[in-house]
Chain A
Amino acid sequence: MSVRTLEVDGRTITALEGQTVFSAAWDSGIRIPRLCHLGGLSEAGACRLCLVEIEGQKKLQPACLTKVAEDMVVNTATPALLAHRRLIVELLLAERNHVCAVCVLNGACELQDLAAQLGVDHVRLRPQYPSLPVDLSHERFGLDHNRCILCTRCVRVCDEVEGAHTWDVAGRGRNSRIISDLGEPWGDSGSCTSCGKCVQVCPTGALFSKGRTVAEMRKDRGFLRYIMTAREKKLWIS
């Protein structure tokens, strides 16, 4: 596989042909923010936080979906990009009811961390305060739509790794919702294997273990790498 050389934030880096700008930058220690990307899963390009400027292109491009090219010049943290990212986080916070103070994942939430990192100390947009349900019908896990940012990590991990495809997205625009099977309560789902992968990859407190109280939950972000590596090396096939 051939190697490509490109410039990211003034640094010359090398990447494999076919690699995304996002992954090449992270391999070189340049941390582009993201909420929907997760190593081991396919890319969705849903959160738009990894938008970067590529010289010669008028439109901003999602780094997670853009392949590297020879002599590409990429900027990941210009003032305009930082302003866009702040606004995206503010839009996410305004869209649903993100109340960190009473969230099971307070202190370990990727959205909360990103807001802090980007200096989002207040939201300039009018909060929508939608009336959204909580699904506690599953024996072990809960789904709180108020905290969902529609990153679809749960949809992808359930489909691509577990092979159950319990989760999907219903509705459009602001009415989009994560649903299990054909919209029945999670506890009634016939396809769910109760493996808990969706809970662990969810970046916020939208998917959580039942019985946990405020700030009591911590997610295991490393399990997916373990599973994917084992699958790649065929450790489970004798």
Chain B
Amino acid sequence: MSRRIVVAPVTRIEGHAKITVHLDAGGSVESAQFHVTEFRGFEKLCEGRPFQEMPGLMSRVCGICPVSHILASSKAGDMLLGVEIPPAAVKQRRLANYAQILQSHALSFFHLSSPDLLLGMDAAPEQRNLFALTGADREFLRRGIRLRQFGQRVIEMVGGRRIHPGWSGPGGVQHCFPAAGRDEILGWIPEALDSVSLALDRMKRLLDSFRPELDHMGNFPSLFLATVSPDGALEYYDGAIRIVDAAGNVIAEDLDPRRYFTFLGEASEQGTFMKFPFYRPFGYPQGHYRVGPLARLNVAKSAGTAAADRELREFKQRGQGAVCQSFHYHLARLVEMLHCVERIEELMADGELLGDNIQARAALNRREGVGSCEAPRGTLFHRYQVDRDGLMTGADLLIATSQNNRAMNLAVEQTARRFIKAGPDTEPAEGMLNRLEAAIRCYDPCLSCSTHALGQMPIRVEVLDSRGRLVSEFARQSE
């Protein structure tokens, strides 16, 4: 008789999800799925509101990466106004974005994943958690917490508050960057560089002990999508989209992110609120792609900062063409953290950051606006339609996490097939199940960000009588 194993809730991720594994009579894995069990619906609730309100409203999508949503939303607003915003406002937004990626990656690596990495996948659950780490590896963990604090402090200095800073909007930002803040930020830089370097060295040393996970926890070919600068380097705020395949070949480049809906589509499947984006020319599921730290490092030719460039060159040697192991998301995240600290230091020397021309004023000039940026988990797109007065008539949010949906499902299935062992009468060991969750944690998914569209979910309704017999059945497929 077949059996079903459900891991619910999936822990140490942001949001609510479960994993289902189906075992056959012999205890072998038949299939495995990742389900997102929460629904947010921001695309619907913004209808009828002024577009100027969107950065503040959309930032509430997520308390971990509010800056990313504010930036994508502000850029969509900039496009609706039809303005090019002043350089000082661009620099402020860039600074907040680097700080956002730094603090979010620190949270993912140190707070959520380090128990698996430092204590081992098979450690007892009561020992494999953040609180146990405070005893086992106190100084390392403290450095991680301080890194996150640094990122949050920079966001506070730029945006006025750590979480949901509403300082950026259509046309620019609300207030000037305080000159005094530069000294405080520069004071943090040596410690931050030191902490990231320590974590990088430690992670590289740990990799040998995770050989099975590297090879079987989400190691598969896929496309990779990310934003790059005009010279092909890492870029997080403004640039063109480039797509590479598993061999590292450039499949498409110079794609305009403001036209993302022409080359990216979304499919729906049963059992989850999260959609499955794909690259249109390849169709679904062949066109599924990955975004986020691993994708950005695979797509970029260089980092553009000295230390991160050294790490990037070394990182690229871990794959033939592109690095395809999902487990390397962790290492990629650390390389990006190094890059962000270096970029923050660069911006402190940039006089334009302190400029007092920070707002381009204009009336509504377009009926549709699209904004994008690189969020911690990947490329984020906001697309808004407004009426003649500027009231929202439609919104489409293409969230980074949902773009990794298919990859997460593949990673769960591959992990289940390799690691889940159960006899006809025995349950799999806890450490095996933890690897299923760890496969998801590689992607650092933020599920509360990623479930917004109404009315397109495939759904199955079964009507049973009082004895449990099927009376009628109704199924609605996705569009």
Q: Which A residues are within 8 Å of any B CB, using their own CB? A: 101-102, 104, 106, 133-137, 142, 144, 187, 210-216
23 A-B pairs in the complex with CB atoms less than 8 angstroms apart: A101-B60, A102-B49, A104-B53, A106-B166, A134-B49, A136-B390, A136-B391, A137-B389, A144-B50, A210-B50, A210-B52, A211-B52, A211-B171, A211-B361, A213-B52, A213-B53, A214-B53, A214-B55, A214-B56, A214-B57, A214-B166, A215-B166, A216-B166
Contacting pair A136 B361 (CB below 8 A): no
- B residues near A212, Cβ cutoff 8 Å: 52
- B residues near A135, Cβ cutoff 8 Å: 389
Most A CB within 10 A of own CB, among B48, B56, B164: B56
Number of interface residues of B (CB under 8 A): 20
- A residues near B361, Cβ cutoff 8 Å: 211
In angstroms, how far is the closest chain B Cβ from the Cβ of A209?
A: 10
Contacting pair B169 A136 (CB below 8 A): no
In angstroms, how far is the closest chain A Cβ from the Cβ of B147?
A: 28
- B residues near A142, Cβ cutoff 8 Å: 50
- B residues near A144, Cβ cutoff 8 Å: 50
- B residues near A214, Cβ cutoff 8 Å: 53, 55-57, 166, 169
Q: Which B residues are within 8 Å of any A CB, using their own CB? A: 48-50, 52-53, 55-57, 60, 164, 166, 169-171, 174, 361, 363, 389-391
A93 to B390, CA, bound (A): 26
In angstroms, how far is the closest chain B Cβ from the Cβ of A9?
A: 38
> Apart from A187-B389, A213-B166, what are 9 other A-B pairs with CB-CB below 8 Å?
A101-B60, A104-B53, A134-B50, A210-B390, A211-B52, A213-B55, A213-B56, A214-B56, A214-B57
In angstroms, how far is the closest chain B Cβ from the Cβ of A145?
A: 11
In angstroms, how far is the closest chain A Cβ from the Cβ of B41?
A: 14
In angstroms, how far is the closest chain A Cβ from the Cβ of B388?
A: 9
CB within 8 A of A216: which of B48, B49, B169?
B169
In angstroms, how far is the closest chain B Cβ from the Cβ of A222?
A: 23
Contacting pair A213 B174 (CB below 8 A): yes
A215 to B55, CA, bound (A): 11
- A residues near B389, Cβ cutoff 8 Å: 135-137, 187
A144 to B49, CA, bound (A): 9
A102 to B70, CA, bound (A): 12
In angstroms, how far is the closest chain B Cβ from the Cβ of A177?
A: 16
- B residues near A187, Cβ cutoff 8 Å: 389
A20 to B46, CA, bound (A): 44
Contacting pair A134 B56 (CB below 8 A): no
User: CB-nearest residue of chain A relative to B77?
Assistant: A213
A187 to B119, CA, bound (A): 65
